[in-house]
Amino acid sequence: MSFDYQGLAQQFVNHYYSQFSADRGSLAPLYRDHSMLTFERDQVQGTQAIVEKLTSLGFQKVQHEIATLDAQPGTPGNRDVIVMVTGKLLIDDEPTPKGYSQVFHLIPEGDSYYVYNDIFRLVF
């Protein structure tokens, strides 16, 4: 049976955005000390720095509306997965949603995955 990387990507993104909306601090277990986040132009590395960046964002409520979700296997012979998401963000009470794209590189660890790379950009 082949590896269902598309299903894994969908499951991961649903979980990630649900946690992001509920409590950004709860995303810490998804990162490691060697993980890296690029959020717009800011780059941070490590679980603590990533969570600090995410929790310091200047909004209270956010809802992700996913338009596309693409996934590909990562390196040959491994089960890492590259995920690209595009969509719209509904932030606080702003009437106009903002476009965004986000890329995750997911690395297997035991029976689960963690985020090795996370790249986020608003799309205007």
Find, among 25, 13, 32, the residue nearest to 81 by Cα: 13
- The pLDDT, as a whole number, for residue 93 is 86
d(CA 42, CA 119) in angstroms, rounded, equals 10
Answer yes or no: CATH 1.10.3720.10 is held by domain 5-123. Answer: no
Domain extents for the chain? 5-123
| Among 121, 119, 110, 106, residue whose Cα is nearest residue 30 | 106
What pLDDT, on a 0 to 100 scale, did the predictor assign at position 2? Answer: 74
Q: Is the pLDDT of residue 57 over 60?
A: yes
The model scores a pTM over 0.85: yes
**pLDDT tens track for 27-56:** 999 999 999 999 999 999 999 999 999 999
